[in-house]
Amino acid sequence: MLNSLPAQTPTRDKDSFFSSLVVGVVLVNLFAYLMVGNSLFNSRKHYDRLAEVSTQNLAKSLEANFSDILDKMNIVLYSVREEAEEQLATRGIDKSVLSGYAKRQIQVLPEIDTISITDSAGNVLCGSDGRTTSVNISDRDYFRKLSNGPDQQLVVSNLLKGKVTGSWRIIAARRYNKPDGSFAGAVIGTVDVAYLDNLLAHLDIGRYGAVGVRDADFKLVALHPKGKEAASQIGSNVISQKTRDMILANPVTATYKTVFARDNKERMVTFRKVAKYPYYIFATISPVDYMTSWRKEATVGLVLLLLFTAMTALSARYLYKSKMNAQLHAEAKRYGDEMRQQNEELNAALIRIKRLEGIISICSYCKKIRTQEDSWEQLETYFSEHSDAMFSHGICPDCAGEQQRVFQEAIASQKDDTNSP
């Protein structure tokens, strides 16, 4: 008989291999995407941390510079105060001499815009600018603080507008006393915020970064770069609620992310309280600027992932085609072997048929058949060996009748023998 394999086996193997290959490619690519994604996530955190450090260092540097300016003003104002008290103790205030002295101090410290000296009532007596316009500053908080207490330390105001020029200024003042220790007036130094703007303008903070100074009431003192909106103008106290909350929770310094109302863009922000003075330094940097390198890394990572995906897909396609070709080759070989086996079986069957179809030598008495080897075999044996036929033994009706007749004759013969004398 001819052997055959189930036809659906190759198809089932093909589908199983294809499914396994697809799952393998998906898993390999998923692992690669997870690895690259995790790397980019950690890299982004690293750039965020660098941005934090950058804004912290910038804010700390600006805070030190701003504090240094006020500390130098303190020294200069102390020197002018000493001169004023010495004049009071000897010949009284000499306005021209005191003005000249104040002017020389301005040359020592160009950060100071003007130095003025007032009397105990708040009237400006003289100053480094040589103006003689009568101005009274008794309504200023810093003057009242100096006049109402013996404290001779430096007092720094919030952002104020000058009464004569109308320009925004920062005021630092010291008290000077009469020989008996009573209040004689104040020595006042002013810093024009334009100086601070110029100082900030030299900083490289990126296209969307910003640095600024605010006073204790959050009024904007200096900002670089300035925008056209009202919130970016000097004197504006518009500030996000998150920044207010962060200052309330962290009075000295904090670093955080917030969205600026001016352009609705997120920024990294660090603020620092100027150590001894009522001012805050703000340094901000935009992810648009500090994430440039990260975006390049992300682009390279994405391109590599796409190339990896394409390579794995092409490799899987090549592997699948190779597997299918090998399977087809194996199937062709198996079918060839089967065909050869079938041909051999067919040839053997034809030989047997030819033997049965030729002239068969059979004994006319015993019915044995003579083989090619000149031996005699029973009819049943010969046909069993040379064909697929099988024999079952029975008796035909004619033979059955004949055998019955012979049997009856034999019985009758025995009875006759028995009855004879």
pLDDT in tens, 294-315: 999 999 999 999 999 999 889 8
Q: How confident is the model at residue 391 (pLDDT cuts 50, 70, 90)?
A: low
- Tell me what pLDDT residue 152 has: 66
Are 336 and 2 in contact by the 8 Å Cβ rule? The answer is no
Enter the pTM of the model. Answer: 0.69
The pLDDT tens digits of the residues spanning 327-358 come to 788 888 888 888 888 888 888 767 766 655 56
- Distance (Å, whole) CA 235 – CA 229: 13
**Measured torsion, CA atoms of residues 357, 363, 364, 367, in degrees rounded to the nearest 10:** -80
- Distance (Å, whole) CA 231 – CA 237: 7
The pLDDT tens digits of the residues spanning 66-112 come to 999 999 999 999 999 999 999 999 988 899 999 999 999 988 888 88
Are 114 and 129 in contact by the 8 Å Cβ rule? The answer is yes
Residues 366-374: what's their mean pLDDT? Answer: 70
- Tell me what pLDDT residue 353 has: 64
Average pLDDT of the chain to the nearest whole number: 84
Between 134 and 4, where is the model more confident?
134
Q: How confident is the model at residue 162 (pLDDT cuts 50, 70, 90)?
A: confident
Query: What angle do the packed helices 292-357 and 8-90 form, to 10 degrees?
Result: 170
- Distance (Å, whole) CA 277 – CA 133: 30
**Measured torsion, CA atoms of residues 300, 303, 304, 306, in degrees rounded to the nearest 10:** 160
Q: How confident is the model at residue 186 (pLDDT cuts 50, 70, 90)?
A: very high
Q: How confident is the model at residue 216 (pLDDT cuts 50, 70, 90)?
A: very high
> 9-13, 238-242, 320-324 — which is least confidently predicted?
9-13
Residues 16-21: what's their mean pLDDT? Answer: 81
